[in-house]
Amino acid sequence: MISDIGVWFAVEEMGGHPHKVPEVYRKCSPITYAHNCTTPTLMIQCEHDWRCPAEQSEQFYTVLKANACIVEVIRHPGGSHGGSIGGSLPLRKSNQENRLKWFNKYILGVEATATEQAAEVAEAVSD
């Protein structure tokens, strides 16, 4: 209940406050099931996402990591909840490039070459 949509949203959607219907909140929360995850997981977090604040990504990351799930978090200093769609061009480009690398690695089994990795580092330093 630390989102910018306020306390009213969760109460309305969940049918009551957490202390009144804790089982509903527990059942509907992804963190409840995170310890069962085995799929390599990439989370891209914008620092100005008040809908899904960074704290939520950190909690999820911690549970996945503690349970030996492959997980990575990329945090962008700018951008909001819709950053990958309506954010700045560099933010959208970074999101897409990181997703592509992740899918190439964990779906196609293709690692970036040393040359591609060096180019990425050089680009990151110049930004």
Whether pLDDT at 67 is above 60: yes
In the beta sheet, which residues pair with residue 42? 72
Q: Predicted confidence band at 114 (pLDDT cuts at 50, 70, 90)? A: low
Classify 11 in phi/psi space as left (phi over 0), alpha (psi -120 to 50) or beta.
Answer: alpha
Q: Which amino acid is at 9?
A: F
Q: Predicted confidence band at 27 (pLDDT cuts at 50, 70, 90)? A: very high
**Segment 10-30 mean pLDDT:** 93
Domains of the chain: 1-36 (no CATH), 38-126 (3.40.50.1820)
Least confident of 10-19, 25-34, 77-86: 77-86
Q: Nearest Cα to 54, choosing from 46, 42, 62?
A: 46
**pTM (predicted TM-score):** 0.78
Element (H, E) at 76: strand 71-76
* The predicted structure's pLDDT at residue 10: 85
